[in-house]
A and B are shown apart, each in its own frame.
Chain A
Amino acid sequence: MTDLPEAQPESQAVDRPVPLVEMLGIRVAFGGVHAVDGVSIDLYPGEVVALVGGNGAGKSTLIHTLSGAHPADSGQIVINGEPVTISNPRDARAHGIEAIYQKLALADNIDAAGNVFLGREIRTKFGSLDDSAMSSATQKLMKRLNPRFKNLRTPVKSLSGGQRQSVAIARAVHFNAKILIMDEPTAALGPAETGQVRDLITELKAEGIGIFLISHDIHDVFDLADRISVMLQGKLVGTVNKDEVTKDEVLAMIIIGKMPGEVSSEEIAEITH
């Protein structure tokens, strides 16, 4: 149960597999302000797509429409070629979408196992919570994700940032996510723990899971992502293959919203100095 799913057949498929996720023309407005304005992005199995942009560019809002935290006003979400409606986190989970949020979204007063299984508890045949089964599954999960993790039964409030992050990741991984959303997964972590999260992303990717990675850290993005989608003021600037661009070109997309071909060397010089 705690093992990750076998690599999906799609990931070994030939030329053009069906995208895991297509988000088409997504719009979200908050009281007249277009936080996300007609954005279309997609994600393939075994791929990491980084979503970057300055503060308020609309990355988190866009991704919340996929995780069900805040439904889109208009636009279409297509999963494995099927149009779907996602209006709350339960819908998203039903489609194999798991999210790790920037603020971690853990219930501080509940232990690690309780948080991993929050909303999807293992129950005994009498319908009561099977705490031992959940603790045991969490223990096995943690052996893989964070071997030093021991405090299974204390409220997560008393855990370090890295341990809390492990709990959030364990929650996403345990339920055989096919699509993983990671919103600033390393923001609260020290160098060793950041390394662990990076290793984990690589591992999950190898197993055919598609990952949307939101990050401020351009190094993380270049180390981990296959493609990079850049947003500016609610609009998509464009999506580029990591191997075909430089960091400066991505910075230019983030700051002035110009694609690598359009931007002049003077403009790049201005940004980088």
Chain B
Amino acid sequence: MMTDVQTAPVTADSASSPASSRGWRAGLASAEVDTRMVGMILAIAVIWIGFNILSGGDFLTARNLWNLSVQSTSIAIMATGMVLIIVSRNIDLSVGSLLGFLGYVMAMVQTQWIPNTFNLGLERWYTWVVALAVGLVIGAVVGVVQGFLVGYIKIPAFIVTLGGFLIWRGLIFRFKQGQTLAPLDKAFQLLGGGPKGSLGDWKSWVLGVLGCVLIVVSILLARRRRQRFDLPLRPTWVDATIGVAGCVVVLGAVMVANSYYWPEQLANQRAEEQGIPIPEGGLQISTGIAYPVVILIAVTLVMTYLARRRRFGRYVYAIGGNPEAAELGGINTRRIIMLTFVLMGVLCALSAAVQTARLNAAVTNLGVQNELDVISAAVIGGTSFAGGVGTIPGAVLGAVIMQSLRSGMVLLKVDSPMQDVIVGIVLITAVGLDSALRRNAN
């Protein structure tokens, strides 16, 4: 598969006759299992268990894991776009500033423009839709401009986005002199998560079951396609293992999210509103999967589909692998490069919505240093600056690893500057280890 990084080259034997090679390694190779992905999942397991032991059992609690899921989303959403930009041998340093700028734009729409400029009042049913739509469109337009300068005018992406980094942050102060804009529309706030901005128990289970169905169906479809074209099948045990493991993880995540209950005060308030008697020991309302996490899941699915199953994605990887070959293959490389920046702009708008909604305010330092976190997440997730290599799910896991480290250190009361020191060391170590392994494999 195109985006899979083969750490062990598949030999002619194991590829042609999977039945004859029963060993674990040969099995893995012929199964086309992404070994890097497995490694990252193991790394997350080690980090989570390690922090849980060090913190005396505070890490692996429903509350902490639920928070971790929400805190990872903003960086993870942007990291999925950064993968494609780095894969095609570019970089985007403007994402943090752009996020801040777009956060302000969306806050302006709901606190100033709709209520004051157009005199339509606050808390309309359409307020959050318009705010989000304006943010997405402006994000896309910024992407068109930056992408045009990189793709068509051939100004290095580093320079264009370094300029963007300064410009978008600076422009924030043109909105009400950079005053904090708050509070935001109540419906818009739900995009940031929180007890009310979550699915609740039964919808979370529905989502979980849908996830399992998706996993099983996609495995079966892949098998059928391969059969139809007479290609070697993955060993059944591998497909079965992946399917079962996938479903267990999905349903486990739903269970954890559902065992995180609303804070007592909020639950009592809800009980009062609906006239439910409060049982002994307090009312337990399941929070379930938070909306921003639902957004992240949707983004990951769409971006993975774009990257692996559409021509656009194939061309992004081809450009990263060999720009000259892509050009000679008749690919419109300039347009593809521009599109990667357009996607990045749209994803910045989504992240900006999540962050401002969660804060319930637009502030001037929104998204500061996010570009570095986003790039780190992509790189920890296996994206290579040499171009042509990187996966979307890898970048999402990269973001989860980064956020796990930070959350864990907070639990252990490591101060913020020291957290940066440690994240920096982990970043260098992870990439160093990875390139050493890759050299060995080759």
Chain A contacts to B: CB under 8 angstroms: 67, 69, 88-90, 93, 99, 101, 103-111, 114-115, 118-121, 123, 127-129, 131-133, 135-136, 139, 148, 150-155, 158
Contact = CB atoms under 8 A, between A and B. Distances in A.
Contact of B231 (A90, A93, A135): A135
B310 A107 contact: no
A103 B325 CA distance: 9
B246 interface: no
A128 B329 CA distance: 19
B234 to A, nearest CB: 11
Contacts of A118: 314, 318, 325-326, 329, 331
B327 interface: yes
B272 interface: no
Given A93-B330, A150-B12, A151-B12, A106 B325 contact: yes
A119 B319 CA distance: 11
B328 A108 contact: no
B225 interface: yes
B333 to A, nearest CB: 11
A240 B158 CA distance: 53
B231 A108 contact: no
A132 B305 contact: no
B328 A99 contact: yes
Given A119-B331, A127-B310, A153-B15, A106 B322 contact: yes
Given A106-B322, A148-B12, 7 more contacts: A89-B329, A89-B330, A105-B322, A110-B317, A132-B226, A132-B228, A150-B15
Contact of A132 (B6, B225, B318): B225
Contacts of A127: 310
Interface string B281-319: 000000000000000000000000100111100100110
A132 B330 contact: no
Contacts, number: 110
B34 interface: no
Interface string B314-350: 1001101110111111110000000000000000000
B309 A109 contact: no
B317 A109 contact: yes
A110 to B, nearest CB: 5
Place the interface of chain B in its size category: 35 or more
Given A139-B231, A151-B12, A120 B330 contact: yes
Contacts of A69: 328
B415 interface: no
B325 A154 contact: no
- Chain A facing B: main interface SS: loop
Given A121-B311, A127-B310, A133 B229 contact: yes
A158 B9 contact: yes
Contacts of A67: 328
A146 to B, nearest CB: 12
Contacts of A158: 6, 9, 442
A139 B16 CA distance: 12
Contacts of B231: 132, 135-136, 139, 152
Given A106-B322, A150-B12, A153-B15, A136 B229 contact: yes
B418 to A, nearest CB: 38
B322 A129 contact: no
Contacts of A123: 311
A148 B326 CA distance: 27
27 contacts: A67-B328, A69-B328, A105-B322, A105-B329, A107-B325, A107-B388, A108-B388, A109-B321, A109-B388, A111-B1, A114-B2, A115-B325, A118-B314, A118-B326, A120-B330, A129-B314, A132-B226, A132-B229, A132-B231, A135-B231, A139-B231, A151-B10, A151-B15, A152-B231, A154-B9, A154-B10, A158-B9
A127 B312 CA distance: 11
Given A119-B330, A129-B309, A103 B9 contact: no
B230 interface: yes
B32 interface: yes
Which 4 pairs show the lowest CB-CB distances between chains A and B?
A136-B229, A119-B329, A107-B321, A109-B321
Contact of A110 (B305, B310, B321): B321
B184 interface: no
A72 to B, nearest CB: 17
